[in-house]
Structure 1
Amino acid sequence: MLSALIYLLLITAAELVTVVLHPLLGLGLYICLLFGIIVQVARTNRFHPDRLILALSLVALIRIISLAMPLGDIPQIWWYPVIYLPLLIGAVIVARILEYTFKDIGLSWGKIPVQILIGLTGIGLGFAEYAILKPDAIIDTLSWNSLILPATILLLTTGFVEELIFRGILQKAALESFGSKGIIYISLIFAVLHTGFLSIADIVFVFGVAVFFGYLVKKTGSILGVTLAHGITNTILFAVAPLLLG
């Protein structure tokens, strides 16, 4: 679908403007992008062919919310619920408009032992990404008591909500449009949205992880395992590794 490829280029351009020039300019481009998607879907009146385009509105929404929210005076760990709650609401609305069932977007248990094994890959992924980025810790001390709240928040936000959007709704729509190549398409978008870390190595790493997660969801029909893996990855990356290895 040519228009989907054009939107990939537009998302990439908007992200580069956000990172290289100024976040407000990027915010403006993402607002225009969201408006363009709404207008296109409304004018074409071709519901099924435009499923992917409508689903891409979630990508624009992610960046609009993250760039527009006044988060400066809020502790970093609470940024996630503030940003991801409206994203979850948006994802539910889009999924309902597209008439996707729970099964369509990976909301099933799958084979629990397999999903747990997938989830445990997050440990290695977290330490690997820390070796690339070396971010500061979002907690002050490393203990079970200090870790349980941020781990839960990261699991429910960057874990569940992001996987619902990318490996659930967006991947389902992309597979309908591109077949198996839809995994590559969504993985490219997911990697582009990590440009803000200013690391080409991390973009490549995230792309590889996204392809890996996308394949697992397509194979198992569940986002449970990748949700656990994503949440564990970010917990290791932002809470455990900086205090353990920093």
Structure 2
Amino acid sequence: MIAYMKLFIWGFIITISLAEWVLTYNSILGGLFIHGFAFIANIMIYWKNWEKFTLHGGLLILSFSYISLNRLVGISIIGEMNEILLILIFVNAPLLICLIECLLGVGIRLNEYFMETMKYKYREMLIAVTGVFFGLIEKNILAGPAISWFDFRSFAFASIAIIIFTGFYEELLFRGVILRYVADISSRGFAIIYSSLLFAIMHLSWMSATDLVFVFLVGVFYASVYMKTRNLMGISISHGITNIILFLF
């Protein structure tokens, strides 16, 4: 089964790479079709083989389906990828809730992802501050559209949405589930590279090779920190701050 899972994770990342490439540079409908195929394939594989999977193996396959589902729902509902705040609220929020319910349903408690946060609060604060550094770098790389805000209330609302629905959601998905469970069937080093590469591929739509490399390196940093600390708090806030600087300034 481990050999099967290794083959599966390679097949998935190749399929998602193709989907994102077609969606960004060729045809939105074509990209969505490939994402749809990947989503259905993940569900069917899990449904037909769920008794053979370990708990972590099953969660890994289901987590892959969230990646395709995020793109399918996001582009289908919003229609334009630059409506960032709407995507966060109407797409990422329900997916985050479903992911949490999935984890809770199999007996995984959220506090497993925030082990000893208060004991190491200064460490987590230091990790969180890296988001300022990352945000300034990415803002210099990308000249993407910012989210409009008119007063402190709208700024605060947008900031909270970004931290929860990009920072926490994406870190829970890519680091808390994918990284954690790929490491169960391979080495820690491979899991870090794999999860970071998948994370970078989902930023292909920015059409910037420099940003792809940057996002991959940030992903490696976040993954390495999580494998060391087993805590998502600092990296989730760092991720959120990075996007706040990118989208709100």
Q: After TM superposition, is the score higher than 0.5?
A: yes
Contact 2:197 2:216 in 1 (8 A): yes
Inter-CA distance 170–5: structure 2 relative to 1 (3 Å threshold):
same
Gaps of 5+ in 2: 1-5
Inter-CA distance 103–219: structure 2 relative to 1 (3 Å threshold):
farther
Aligned to 1:87: 95
| C-alpha displacement of 1:78 | 3.2
In structure 2, distance between residues paired with 1:75 and 1:185: 29
| C-alpha displacement of 1:206 | 0.2
The yes-or-no answer on 1:21 pairing with 2:29 is no
Aligned to 1:2: 7
Aligned to 2:3: none
Task: Count matched residues.
Answer: 237
- Range with bigger deviation, 216-225 or 164-173: 164-173
Contact 1:77 1:150 in 2 (8 A): yes
Contact 1:71 1:79 in 2 (8 A): no
1:217-242 CA distance string (max 9 Å, x none): 111111000111011001111112xx
| C-alpha displacement of 1:89 | 2.4
Contact 2:179 2:195 in 1 (8 A): yes
1:47-75 CA distance string (max 9 Å, x none): 21444223211211221121221366x96
**Aligned-partner SS, 1:123:** helix
In structure 1, distance between residues paired with 2:94 and 2:122: 32
Contact 2:85 2:158 in 1 (8 A): yes
Contact 1:190 1:206 in 2 (8 A): yes
1:161-210 CA distance string (max 9 Å, x none): 11111111212211112230111111111000000000010000000000
The yes-or-no answer on 1:173 pairing with 2:181 is yes
Residue among 183, 206, 209 paired with 1:197 = 206
| C-alpha displacement of 1:150 | 1.6
The yes-or-no answer on 1:101 pairing with 2:109 is yes
1:200-211 to structure 2, matched below 5 A, reads 200-211=209-220
Contact 1:108 1:224 in 2 (8 A): no
In structure 1, distance between residues paired with 2:180 and 2:205: 26
| C-alpha displacement of 1:97 | 5.4
**Aligned-partner SS, 1:134:** coil
Aligned to 1:230: 239
In structure 2, distance between residues paired with 1:158 and 1:109: 23
Code of the residue aligned with 2:131 in structure 1: it is G
**Aligned-partner SS, 1:59:** helix
In structure 2, distance between residues paired with 1:183 and 1:95: 21
Residue among 49, 53, 63 paired with 1:47 = 53
Residue among 15, 26, 38 paired with 1:33 = 38
In structure 2, distance between residues paired with 1:182 and 1:156: 24
Contact 2:59 2:177 in 1 (8 A): no
Aligned to 1:114: 123
Contact 1:55 1:173 in 2 (8 A): no
In structure 1, distance between residues paired with 2:21 and 2:43: 23
In structure 1, distance between residues paired with 2:125 and 2:134: 15
| Identical residues among aligned pairs (%) | 29
- Range with bigger deviation, 229-238 or 42-51: 42-51
1:101-125 CA distance string (max 9 Å, x none): 3355x24453111111000000010
In structure 1, distance between residues paired with 2:84 and 2:17: 26
**Aligned-partner SS, 1:56:** helix
| C-alpha displacement of 1:77 | 2.7
| C-alpha displacement of 1:145 | 4.9
RMSD: 2.1
